[in-house]
Amino acid sequence: MGSKQNDSLNPLVRFLLLVSSAAPVLLGLALGFISKSAFDIKKICIGLTVLVVGLLLSALTVFTISRSFKKLERIPVAVSSVEPLDGQGLTQLLALLMPLLLIDTDKITITSALIAFGVFALMALRSNSHHVHPVLMIVGYKVYRIMTSSGVGYIMISKDDIRRAKDVKEVGHCTDYLVVDLTNEPVMKV
């Protein structure tokens, strides 16, 4: 169930999902800088910059995923099982935000922030956990683990509430193991 035609989406989608999955951390940092600023213009500017970067990354990811629903090749699929992963998104969000409650933003340096983000990025790349994306869930997308009748597992992003495996009939590939549910999407005329 693959298509070489969609390989060009892989690096872009993977990169956007990885980078923007840190948006909740950026929001927490921004709020930390702004709330502890005591009207220090430098801290307010840093906080606002971090906030804007997080929002832009989030918007770009939502745009890319929503565009993939329209642009990807429709591939028929026989799904044998479907499992919601929304709980993992909440767990990931809490895991990202909890340390921010304990961090003193006065002691954060660019170097320590880059090292922390590098560790986060490496873990996310190796685990594919960036597919369970808090920002996408906030805007209404649902994430599922599906198993095809041939025994291949995928993470699937859908706009719909999926209750049964037979409800998924067509998907589009975003990355090697990330698909979007195209079952109820209108067919685009070329």
**Distance from CA of residue 37 to its chain's centroid?**
30
Q: Where are the domains of the chain?
A: 4-181
- Give the pLDDT of the chain (190 residues) as one tens digit per residue: 544 444 445 677 777 777 777 777 777 777 777 777 677 788 788 878 888 888 888 888 888 888 877 888 899 999 999 999 876 666 666 666 666 656 666 676 667 767 777 777 677 666 655 566 777 888 888 889 999 999 999 989 999 999 999 999 999 988 778 899 999 877 655 4
**In contact, 143 and 77? CB cutoff 8 Å:** no
**In contact, 153 and 145? CB cutoff 8 Å:** yes
pTM equals 0.72
- Hunting for tokens 């597992």 — which residue is that? 153
- Angle at CA 188, nearest 5°, toward 128 and 150? 45
Calculate the dihedral angle through the C-alpha atoms of 136, 141, 147, 150, rounding to the nearest 10 degrees.
-100
Strands (E), the chain: 75-76, 79-84, 142-148, 153-158, 170-175, 178-181
- Indicate the DSSP class of residue 164: S
pLDDT tens digit sequence for 50-86:
888 888 888 888 888 888 778 888 999 999 999 998 7
